[in-house]
Chain A
Amino acid sequence: MEKKNKLLIVDDEEIVRQSLKAWFLEDGYEIDIAEDAEAALRLYEKNKYDLILLDIKMPGMSGMDLLIKLKEFDPDAIIILITAYASVSSAVKALKNGAYDYITKPIDPDELSHVVKNALNQKNLKDENIQLKTSIDEIIKPENLIGDSPKMKEVYSLIHTVSQTDTTVLILGDSGTGKELVAKAIHLNSKRKYFPLVTVNCGALPESILESELFGHEKGAFTGAHYKRKGKFEMANGGTIFLDEIGTISHKVQIELLRVIETKEFMRVGGSETIKSDFRVIAATNENLQNLVNSGQFREDLYYRLNVFNIQLPPLRERGDDVILLADYFLNKFSSAMNKKISSFDEEAIKFMQDYYWPGNVRELENAIERAVVVCHKDKITLDDLPFKVIKNVKEEEPLTERSLEAIEKKHIEKILSENNWNISKSAEELQIDRVTLYNKIKKYGLRKNN
């Protein structure tokens, strides 16, 4: 059971005490309140507080005097002073006297929550470090990262190795193999887990809004910028930024990213202040980045900056019995969401799922099971409940009658092209050959789209 942090709020105004108490109760803290310095001291004698919020101006002993007194008792006490009037001299005095921070009423909720969280995080970090050191050799997995196959066990081991470092990670794998889940697992197992994992889908970012999206903007930076806005890199402070579909970004964006990743510094659009952010970078792609570097589409320096530690995710067809583990998980998920009592799959459906090629990987399996749960009217999913497209692909898997290698190659290339609707890049990737080789084979065997 996690320890609850205990806070003491000292303010002479009833409404402020009650507002702050209600606000912090929602954070799960234990709260005591005191209306003046004397009451605060009485409470402090009997209790241990992780943090004290103190109003500077109070009748009787002032907040500043109380700060000095509390610091005499306990030099490690974390005290944040609150004042209605901001003045540099009183802020300097407060910090000199050992206050952790100084904030002005009315307080920006974002500022209040961050000041308090940062203070407590620092305090709690010591215990946390001890816990990390003694943690067992297992990783915490996001609920839907499932699989016991040797290939997935290798992935878990890599996640375990890299998560407790700040190393940049590049996750490679086909669409639907679960790259985002692996990023999540790395984040969850790192010391950054209480800070956010901020996902940027690079493929979906139009260049025009990219700067503001990544770096934020100041109020009035452009028409319509009515309010200051933090960007993704700033939001990832303390946590992890996950750059998905990194292979799709333009040259201009590649330069920007390289700079920010290297310096961890940037300015908001329309701003003059340099903002520092402590983030860890995880990138992912389903493209062959090395090929993109070779063809000049991806900057080599950025590639090396990202590819410090890479994790290759296996396609579903290479994960053996994981297909059934995953199918059971999705069946359970969708049948309880749709309030249906479907307990399992029949043998034919299981055999089919084991033999199928799953070009769309786990995502395709998930969609297939969702659809099957919708149409199934019995207590078991049958082959008929699985999606039409999937069934059709299986029927196409006729036994090979040809004997020559060339004939088999021709048939196989034809099949992959047709499955990918003649998308050359995707087909070449699946066939694990480059596009030029694929074009040569198409020419050699006289393949046509209509075939």
Chain B
Amino acid sequence: MTPVILAPINIDNHFLLDEIIPELEYISKIKFIIKPLNIDISKAFSEERGQYHSTIILKLMLENLNEENSKVVGIVKNDLFIPVLTYVFGEAQLDGKCSLVSLFRLHEEFYSGNSDKNLLKQRTIKEILHELGHNFGLIHCKDWECVMHSSSSIEEVDIKGIKYCKSCIQIINKKLKS
């Protein structure tokens, strides 16, 4: 099975990703590898909003990737938006190759001022698995215990489960076999 690539974009220190790989693999039964991607994302920056347009970063990723068969989850530390929304935690090509996750709003400091490394890990795992699920063609799930439940606020990220539900994991497995 081709491993999923976690691609830290312009992030030198990826200890966090190293630490969460075992749990990502345990939950998804998919192999993950880290492959940093250094690309110029300044094109995606909006002066007016002080944020990065995630759809543009996704396009840049696609232009700069060589891997034919792998799914690639880009990780950025910057705050992301799409024009109609104030922010997004990430974006994915539905049933496609690439997705993107921002760590910016996953840090607890952003909300309460308190650092919580464990919470950051849990949130990052959830968001990576969520966006990756979209890459496998999954849409949002109604089951709050499933990581594919939609989460448009950090409170919802915290409430939803960290694993795929039975039917979502079945769809992923089917895709992997085909």
Interface residues of A (CB under 8 A from B): 13, 15-16, 19-20, 22-23, 25-28, 82, 105-110, 112-114, 143, 194, 196-198, 212, 217, 223-227, 229-230, 235, 337
For the complex, is B114 an interface residue (Cβ under 8 Å from A)?
A: yes
In the bound assembly, the distance between CA atoms of A198 and B161 in angstroms comes to 11
Contact call B159/A105, Cβ cutoff below 8 A: no
A227 touches B111 (CB 8 A): yes
With beta carbons under 8 angstroms apart, the residue of B26, B91, B152, B154 that contacts A113 is B152
Q: How far is the CA of A142 from the CA of B151 in the complex (A)?
A: 22
| A365 to B85 alpha-carbon distance, docked (Å) | 48
How far in angstroms is the closest Cβ of chain A from B114? 6
B85 adjacent to A112 (CB under 8 Å): yes
For B51, the closest partner residue in chain A by CB is A106
Given contacts A25-B139, A26-B94, A230-B153, contact A224 B112 (CB under 8 A): yes
Among candidates B91, B112, B150, B160, residue contacting A27 with C-beta atoms closer than 8 Å? B150
Distance in angstroms from B159 CB to nearest chain A CB is 5
Complex Cα distance A225/B111, Å? 6
CB distance B152 to A112 under 8 Å?
Answer: yes
Asked if A106 and B153 make an inter-chain contact with CB atoms under 8 angstroms apart, the answer reads no
Question: What are 22 A-B pairs with beta-carbon distances under 8 A?
Answer: A13-B83, A15-B83, A19-B83, A19-B84, A19-B85, A23-B82, A23-B84, A23-B85, A25-B94, A27-B139, A27-B140, A27-B150, A28-B139, A28-B140, A108-B86, A109-B152, A196-B159, A225-B111, A226-B111, A229-B111, A229-B155, A230-B155
Does B123 sit within 8 A of A, measured CB to CB? no
Per the bound structure, the CA–CA distance linking A15 and B111 in Å amounts to 30
Among B159, B160, B166, max chain A CB count under 10 A is at B159
Cβ of B152 to closest chain A Cβ, rounded Å = 4
A26 and B140 form a contact (CB under 8 A):
yes
Query: Nearest Cβ in chain B — how far from A293, in angstroms?
Result: 32
A110 touching B159, Cβ below 8 Å: no
Report the minimum CB–CB distance from A201 to chain B (whole Å).
Answer: 13
Give the residue among B81, B86, B134 with the most A Cβ atoms within 10 A.
Answer: B86
Contact A106 B84 (CB under 8 A): yes
Name the A residues within 8 Å of B177 (CB-CB). Answer: none
Give, as a whole number of angstroms, the nearest-CB distance from A108 to chain B.
Answer: 5
Question: Shortest CB–CB separation between residue A337 and chain B, in angstroms?
Answer: 8
Contacts of B155 in A (CB 8 A): 229-230, 235
- Of residues B85, B109, B111, which shows the largest number of chain A Cβ atoms within 10 Å of its Cβ? B85
**Residues of B contacting A225 in the complex (Cβ-Cβ under 8 angstroms):** 111-113
One digit per residue, 1 when the CB lies within 8 angstroms of any chain A CB and 0 when it does not, for chain B 111-152 equals 111100000000000000000001000011010100000101
